[in-house]
């Protein structure tokens, strides 16, 4: 049970690390094939690009979950803790709203590109674009949990 909980708590990180290792391997393989075989293997560049897209989108969800995204602390010292919590809730609500739009539009994009294939590997572009609703879903979960925790902090401050 402990391992299952660890896996689900770190699922996105595990997937991102795996994708990064694959991308690194493919890039090294392409460079070696270019210099030692005299001709690069064409699919490696395309797959590396798609893996980078996946890593970038999953990284957004990871950073949001860990609350490590870029933010300005300009107002933190100027507002009371209560008002700063309200500001963080508002920002999290905006993130949730944007993520929900990204989620639904991403699903539309996935279905719109089912028949579109990549030039070299001939795989459906929907496999590349599916990361948009996946990462948006995890960002919605993260921002929702963050708002819930902040609301609990505010109620504790009142009591």
Residue 58: its pLDDT value, please? Answer: 95
- For residue 3, what pLDDT band results from cuts at 50, 70 and 90? confident
Give tens-digit pLDDT for 90-143. 989 999 999 999 999 999 999 999 999 999 999 999 999 999 999 999 999 999
What's the pLDDT score for residue 106?
97
What per-residue confidence (pLDDT) applies to 159?
A: 56
Instruction: Name every residue whose Cβ is closer than 8 Å to that of residue 38 and which is 6 or more positions away in sequence.
Output: none
pLDDT tens digits along 12-58:
999 999 999 999 999 999 999 988 888 878 899 999 999 999 999 99
Residues in the chain: 159
For 61-67, which contacts have Cβ atoms below 8 Å and span 24 or more sequence positions? 61/12, 61/135, 61/138, 61/139, 61/142, 62/12, 62/13, 62/16, 64/95, 64/138, 64/139, 64/142, 64/143, 65/12, 65/138, 65/142, 67/146
At residue 93, the pLDDT reads 93
Whole-structure pTM value: 0.87
73 has pLDDT over 90? no
pLDDT at 8: 61
Q: Where in the chain are the domains?
A: 2-158
């Amino acid at each position: 049970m402990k391992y299952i909980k660890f896996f689900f708590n770190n699922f996105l990180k595990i997937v991102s690390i795996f994708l990064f290792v694959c991308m690194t391997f493919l890039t090294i393989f392409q460079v070696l094939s270019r210099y030692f075989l005299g001709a690069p293997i064409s699919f490696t560049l395309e797959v590396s690009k798609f893996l980078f897209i996946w890593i970038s989108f999953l990284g957004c969800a990871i950073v949001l979950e860990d609350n490590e995204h870029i933010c300005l602390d300009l107002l933190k010292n100027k507002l009371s803790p209560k008002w700063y919590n309200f500001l963080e809730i508002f920002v999290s609500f905006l993130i949730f709203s944007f993520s929900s739009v990204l989620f639904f539009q991403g699903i539309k994009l996935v279905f719109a590109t089912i028949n579109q294939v990549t030039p070299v590997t001939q795989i459906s572009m929907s496999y590349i674009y599916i990361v948009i609703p996946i990462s948006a879903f995890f960002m919605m979960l993260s921002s929702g949990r963050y708002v819930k925790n902040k609301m609990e902090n505010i109620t504790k401050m009142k009591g």
